[in-house]
Amino acid sequence: MQSKRVWARALGLQRTTVIEDVREDGEAIVVSCRLRANAARRCGQCGRRCGRYDHGEGRRRWRALDAGTTKVFIEADAPRVRCPDHGVVVAAVGWARHGAGHTRTFDDQVAWLVTHTSKTAVVELMRVAWRTVGAIAERVVADDRAARDPLDGLRRIGIDEISYRRGHKYLKVVIDHDSGRLVWAKAGHDRATLQEFFDLLGPERASAIKLISADAAEWIGDCALAACGNATLCLDPFPIVRWASQALDVVRRWVWNVLRSIGLGKRATQLKGRYALWKNPEDLTDRQAAKLAWIARHNSRLYRAYLLKEQLRLVFQFRGEEATAMLDAWLSWARRSRIPAFVELYHRIKKHRAGIVASVTHGLSNGLTESVNTKLRLLTRIAYGFRSTDNLIALCLLDRGGHCPQLPGRQTTA
């Protein structure tokens, strides 16, 4: 119990920390510490050497990792210093982050666990409240982002959003296509929210961005291109193909209503199921393939609409000039199709042609962004019960932004 060297190593204390005493206090172990003179009286935010202001609130405790089944606390004085930049703040301590009630190793272990195991396991193992876990995640991410800016070196980014709560509550997210990491997230679903990212990025770093993938929402493209003057906008293929599927369904419903109105209700019932028209040809069941063949024989208008949808989908399976030529051929066909829903779609896609051509030329889409979003949706369910959206965002950045720390005591192997 009295081996101070063993306790210093077990708690991960630095050489700037001196253990004065180790004692039992009820069902816990309390390790009394002090800082050496060269490490004392530093600003808790910037680490600058400062003049002492007062004794603060006296001695305080920080929760450390358990010793077996017993809770451990570090106890030390918490004086305040006057920093020229940050004013009067609590002096820095080597074993904990500024403003924390837990040691750095405790924070790191909780942060690692929350990205690798269940919510219940973290709470039970670490003996903390779930809201405390959210605050720890936010603290660890802020500390790591202060040490290395994730916005440096961005060249190709993806912009998207996910719903994190009922009632149209969205997170706007930005992905780095080169590293596959989530670099920024913010609650909101409007231009002002996205503009916050570009304000944080700054003009110099924004000018270095070359490619931006996004959906076809005009305000996203306008905001992104206004901030990134050297960037090219690549429209994600998924919403484009979805437009074609929606146009096809408009045609299907129109044909269904026409057949019913002229007394061909039996034929109309053949068009009730839309999966034969929506699914990719290679995924059709035998029954759906037979229904598609029946449509081809009995309703050329609906079958042409189906072929238009499929032809547009095939555009995105090619690259470069070949894909561009296929897109232009599709536009010509849709314009002459005399199917109102697809003529309307022709005008819509022609308006976004530049973004679609950029996507098939550079091979950039929101596929990676959607993959990250799938994982983020799982995290939003795990994060249920966090007090603030900031805690949720911190958890997302911790898991998908590369900010998850190593378990205490583990070293990176070369």
Average pLDDT for runs of 10 along the chain of length 414 = 80 90 92 91 90 89 94 94 93 92 95 90 93 92 91 93 82 93 92 94 94 90 92 91 92 80 69 70 80 80 91 91 94 94 95 93 84 83 79 91 90 52
Measured from the Cβ of residue 363, the count of other Cβ atoms closer than 10 Å reads: 12
Encoded amino acid at 256, one letter: W
Res 351: pLDDT? 93
Reply yes or no on domain 102-235+365-406 having CATH 3.30.365.10.
no
Dihedral Cα 122, 126, 131, 135, nearest 10 deg:
-100
To the question of pTM greater than 0.95 for the whole model, the response is no
Res 414: pLDDT? 39
b/e per residue 261-284 (b: at least 16 CB within 10 A): eeeeeebbebbeeeebbeeeeeeb
Res 270: pLDDT? 66
Between the CA of residue 300 and those of 252, 297, 304, 308, 354, what are the distances in Å?
12, 7, 6, 12, 32
Pair 380, 395: CB distance under 8 Å: no
Res 413: pLDDT? 46
Res 267: pLDDT? 66
Res 275: pLDDT? 66
Res 189: pLDDT? 87
Q: What percent of the chain is helix, strand and coil (3-state, nearest 5)?
A: 50, 20, 30
